[in-house]
Structure formats: C-alpha cells, structure tokens
C-alpha cells in the first residue's frame, strides 16, 4: 500500500468498534491526541485523556467527542478521581501513557537542571503508583539522555522501577515505525513486576517513507495564506539545497531553524515553534512557502480526516496552533507501533 493508503487504513482502525476485551489505556499530557490516535489505531479503548491546554483539549474533543477529557493541572487529579471516572479498580488498567512536558530537557533550550517542568514526570509516577496498570509508556526528548541530563535520566529510570515495574528505555526514531519524519524520542516501557514479563522496545519495522511519497496524493500548490517566504529571504531560499537549512548559504543570523525539505528523505523533526508567515519553520523544496497544514498533518502521521480547531488553512493563528500541536505530538503511527508491540509482547 502507499503511505496514504496505510494511513487511511489505520484511521479506519481507529474509528472501528472496540471489542469487549480490548486493552484499555489512559493518556496523560495528551496534547492534541497523537498518542491517543495511535492507541485507537492499535485497537485500544481509551478511558480518559488528561490535558490542560485549551487548544489541545478543543482538538481532542473535536476528534473524540465521546472520550472523557479531564482538563486541568495534573497535580490536582487524584488517583481516586481517575478510578471513579473510569470505573476501574487498582491494577485493572492495561496501559498508562504519558509525555510529560520536556522543554527543560530539550537540546533546543537551556537544559536547566532545576527547570520546574522537569519535575512533571513525578506527577506521572504518582498516578502510576496509585493505578498500578499492567504496563506503561512514557515518552520524552532525546536531550534527556545526553550530557548532564543523563543524571536526570537515571533518576527517572530508578523512580519508574521503584513504582514496581520492570523497565526498558531507549531512543526510537519514528522514521523506522512508518512515520515520514526523522523524529527521535526516548521511550520508556514498563511492565508490572508481578506479571513476570520483561518489556522490550519495538524493532524497526519499515524502510523510510520519503516526503514525496507521503505527500504524493496532495495537490501541488505554489502559494498558501500567510506562509510565503519573506522577500528578503527569497534569494536565500532559492540557493539552499533541499535537505539543508538557510544557514548553509547565509551563516549570519539564526537561520538554522529555517529548513528546506528534501522530497527524497523523511521530514526532519517538526518542532512546535514557527513564526507567522516568514520565520523559522519547514519550507517546501519547490515553492517558496512554509508547509501547509494538510502537509504537516500528513508528515506528522495524523489522518487526513483529523480536525483542527478554527481554520488553519486560512487563519495564521489557527495555523500556528495546529503546527505547534503536531510539533509537540507523538506521531500517531509511532504510538500505534508501540501500542501493537505492547499488545503482542506484554498482553
């Protein structure tokens, strides 16, 4: 199947009725639904999604109107609240998922050891200890396992094991799991000790899907609203070879965040930060513009039917928020592969 057909098939799986014995999942730090969509694609029954951001919650509710979405500070969500909302008892949940905000660990930031955002994983472990699911998945940036942050990585690994789990962790590239994006993330997978099963990470499954293959069935558009290269950078964009940043031909300034796609490789990591119209972001290789939202959706492995609040095709602010959501998200096909691996090896 083509990439578009694969994604469409996975989208149908996500909407299919759940079997009575389908594995259950709760998603924390759920964002715009990347992990949720992936687990839906893998046949899980999501009982609860936890998120505080207004745009993210609106996105979740737009795409999953029947999903129970708890909005607020996760520190205010008790284990009792979760059990009452889901009808579960301690130990009955199959999978507990979370992607604690990771700006404090990211190699693109200051990587401050005392960044308060680095402590949000403790809210994850607090709920993990209380719910005692059969398995858990926790995702974070690769900066967590580099340089001075290795001590934080070791602390997180130790605390997860202390919750009563056998744990494995490693860096996984989404491009090896069917996503047309070279996005590396640290993935922790744990299995409750009493089950006597050693967790493993999913092995590479596919060859790389290129940008050209991923976007093959989308219309070839030369322009997009509020997304053209600024006139002062037109000559720079024209000189940049596909697969390189603007700094490769114009070393002055902070232009390494301006990236020109190569159609014959996976997309580089989609980051959440762009500037309206002509700032940092990922630019088309053929047309002097930022990527359009349907292109970003496809490269992020969200289904083409996925809905974004407002009108990101014409409104610059809506476009930026949807872009940020895709940049923050675990790509659905990556979450799907992890979810299927857990079903096959742990359940």
Q: Residues 326, 18, 336, 181: is their CA dihedral positive or negative?
A: negative
Q: According to DSSP H, which parts of 16-143 are helical?
A: 34-41, 54-63, 79-86, 121-131
DSSP element (H, E) containing 319: helix 316-328
| 226 exposure class (CB count in 10 Å sphere: 0-12, 13-18, 19+) | middle
Yes or no: say if 244 and 260 are a contact pair by the CB < 8 Å rule: yes
246: DSSP letter = G
**DSSP string for residues in 124-182:** HHHHHHHH--SEEEEEEEGGGGSGGGHHHHHHHHHHHHHTTEEEEEEEEEGGGGT-SEE
Q: Residues 289, 53, 140, 2: is their CA dihedral positive or negative?
A: negative
Pairing of strands 135-141, 45-51: unpaired
Question: 135, 57, 56: which is closest to 97 by C-alpha?
Answer: 135
Is 191 a residue of the active site?
no
The CB-based long-range contact list for 167-172 (8 Å cut-off, 24+ gap) reads 167/199, 168/198, 168/199, 168/200, 168/201, 169/201, 170/201, 171/142, 171/145, 172/201, 172/202, 172/334, 172/338
Backbone φ/ψ region at 307: left (φ over 0), alpha (ψ -120 to 50), beta: beta
User: Catalytic residue numbers?
Assistant: 102
């Amino acid at each position: 199947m083509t990439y578009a057909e694969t994604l469409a098939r996975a989208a149908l799986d996500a909407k299919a009725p759940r079997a009575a014995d389908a594995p259950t999942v709760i998603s924390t730090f759920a964002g715009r639904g990347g992990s949720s969509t992936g687990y839906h694609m893998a046949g899980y029954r999501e009982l609860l999604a936890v998120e505080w951001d207004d745009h993210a919650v609106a996105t979740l509710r737009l795409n999953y109107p029947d999903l129970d979405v708890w909005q607020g500070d996760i520190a205010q969500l008790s284990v009792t609240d979760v059990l009452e909302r889901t009808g579960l008892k301690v130990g009955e949940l199959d999978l507990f998922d979370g992607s604690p905000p990771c700006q404090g660990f990211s190699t693109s930031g200051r990587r401050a050891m005392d960044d308060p955002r680095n402590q949000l994983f403790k809210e994850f472990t607090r709920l993990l200890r209380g719910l005692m699911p059969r398995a858990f998945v926790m995702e974070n940036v690769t900066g967590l396992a580099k340089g001075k942050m290795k001590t934080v990585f070791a602390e997180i690994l130790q605390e997860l094991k202390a919750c009563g789990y056998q744990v494995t962790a490693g860096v996984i590239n989404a491009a090896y799991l069917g996503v047309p994006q070279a996005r590396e993330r640290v993935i922790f997978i744990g299995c409750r000790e009493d089950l006597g099963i050693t967790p493993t990470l999913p092995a590479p499954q596919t060859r790389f899907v290129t940008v050209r293959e991923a976007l093959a069935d989308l219309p070839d558009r030369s322009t997009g609203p509020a997304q053209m290269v600024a006139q002062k950078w037109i000559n720079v964009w024209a000189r940049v070879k596909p697969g390189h940043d603007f700094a490769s031909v114009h070393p002055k300034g902070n232009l390494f965040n301006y990236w020109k796609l190569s159609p014959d490789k996976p997309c580089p990591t989609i980051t959440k930060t762009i500037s309206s119209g002509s700032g940092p972001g990922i630019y088309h290789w053929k047309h002097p513009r930022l990527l359009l939202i349907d292109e970003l959706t496809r490269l992020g492995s969200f289904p083409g039917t996925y809905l974004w609040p407002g009108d990101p095709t014409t409104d610059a602010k809506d476009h930026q928020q949807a872009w940020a959501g895709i940049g923050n998200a675990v790509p659905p096909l990556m979450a799907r592969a992890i979810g299927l691996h857990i079903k096959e090896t742990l359940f």
